[in-house]
Structure 1
Amino acid sequence: MAKEEICIIGVGRFGRSLIESLSVNINYRVIAVDSSEDRLASIDKYVDWAVVGDATNTDFYKDNGLDKIDNFVIGIGSDIQSSLLIASILKGFGKENIYAKAVSESHEKILKSLNITKIINPEQDAARKLAYDFNNPLYKMSNASSSEDISSVELDGNYNWTRVRVSGRSPVSNTRIMDIPSLRNAKIVVALINRSGKYLVPKGQDIIFKDDYVFIIGKGKSLSKFVKVLRP
């Protein structure tokens, strides 16, 4: 019987603890990914395969055959933008079993909007367990409704993660991303598109259509102007 493969991205304290725990289970083949060779060397004896590289690069997965793996854990927490880009890439590959660490309420909320399988917030999980031990009710985290036309969450460095439903009145509906004037020289990243419930990581030649949910990372007036272009 073939072993089930699990890829852990990020070998910090959380990732390392998970790797060590999984290593005792003979039913799993554990793959670790990190940008640091030193961190990977420290857990080499616990994994079946260690891959050094940039997990925010789509080609990295294809070049190393990681796009064939079904189960992923995003252990990166402190770098929220990297965490979200990785989640976007994995959703673009059509991956369904994605588990991710969150370090804040806003981080968790964004991951929920991407329909991540399970979100782990170590501090909140510990607090919730303590509340359970005291027999207190646990509160539910708020989640952005998929029916909202525009929703936005602040990130570090004054950046925002914004989801916009493209209006039929938008001048860029049925337009390739590379041909949208307001994106030229603007500090905006179109990170993900949700089209009829399916996620894709867009490239320049991809077309934006009416009712697409476009996920954008940006800040300031450039972001505001682009949102108004999508929903005039």
Structure 2
Amino acid sequence: MKIKNNRNNRQFAIIGLGRFGSNMAKALHKMGYEVLAIDKNPQKVQDFSDEVTHVIQADSTDEAALRAIGILNFDVVVVAIGEDVQSNIMTTLQLKEIGASYIVATARNSLHGKLLEKIGADRVVAPERDMARRVAYNLASTSVMDYIELSPKFSIVEITAPKAFQNQTLAESNIRAKYGINVVAIKRGDDLIISPLPNEVIINNDIVVVVGSNESINGLEELE
């Protein structure tokens, strides 16, 4: 996919090479970012050696090991340890105490998530819950391609451009004023137009990426 945008040089560290961590690491690497993958299991490290920029075997609950890795040089650290809740919590705590810039931690349930927030995770994600909601939203609507919940009231959604907007510019469609929705990107074939200009014309088969309240997005789905 061609992306019409200037990519920044952020660096990511992914701790834990289970399904979620390994898929996230590979996805970020394919997007062109520098990615460090960390796991204490030597077999996982060996199997993942060709997938991202760097792979290191280390115990992420050990403060000295984290410092030796240079974890503070990374803009985002993702704690993707799934099975070992204690290691997940201890790693998040260690990262917070040594001053990691931005910590994303995975939670197995709501209680786990609340604890991660209290000890300093900047963002908590629940992969199974979030994926279930995305699939449910996709199944319930024929026009929705993908869905990310930002909060109980707001979401980002990929939706097939309604016919009512096709062959019009964004300015002419007046989406923001009429529906309270912002178009943040347009997917057109292999191209992704980030922050499209008001004179960008929406054409047949475009997929628009919009952000707004769930109520507003539901209204957009009802358009022909």
Query: Which interval holds the TM-score relative to the shorter structure?
Result: 0.5 to 0.7
Matches within 5 A, 1:53-68: 53-68=58-73
Aligned positions, number: 137
The structural deviation recorded for 1:132 is 3.8
User: 2:39·2:59 contact (CA, 8 Å) conserved in 1?
Assistant: yes
Given the superposition, is the C-alpha separation of residues 95 and 14 from structure 1 closer, same or farther in structure 2, using an over 3 Å criterion?
A: same
Between the aligned partners of 1:112 and 1:66, the Cα distance in structure 2 is 20
Instruction: Please identify, of 120-129 and 55-64, the stretch whose mean Cα deviation from structure 2 is larger.
Output: 120-129
TM-score (norm 2): 0.55
TM-score (norm 1): 0.53
Partner of 1:42: 47
Structure 2, gaps ≥5 residues long: 1-6, 142-148, 153-224
Partner of 1:3: 9
Matched, 1:23 2:12: no
User: Of the candidates 108, 113, 134, which is equivalent to residue 113 of structure 2?
Assistant: 108
Matches within 5 A, 1:1-232: 3-26=9-32, 28-133=33-138, 134=140
Between the aligned partners of 2:129 and 2:8, the Cα distance in structure 1 is 35
Between the aligned partners of 2:39 and 2:124, the Cα distance in structure 1 is 20
Post-superposition Cα deviations, 1:12-63, rounded to whole Å, max 9, x if no partner, equal 111111112112122x110011111210121211211111111100000122
Structure 1, gaps ≥5 residues long: 141-232
The structural deviation recorded for 1:113 is 1.6
User: 1:96·1:117 contact (CA, 8 Å) conserved in 2?
Assistant: no
Alignment identity in percent?
28
Which residue identity lines up with residue 80 of structure 1 in the other structure?
V
Between the aligned partners of 2:39 and 2:53, the Cα distance in structure 1 is 14
Q: CA RMSD in A?
A: 2.3
Runs of 4+ deviating beyond 4 Å: none
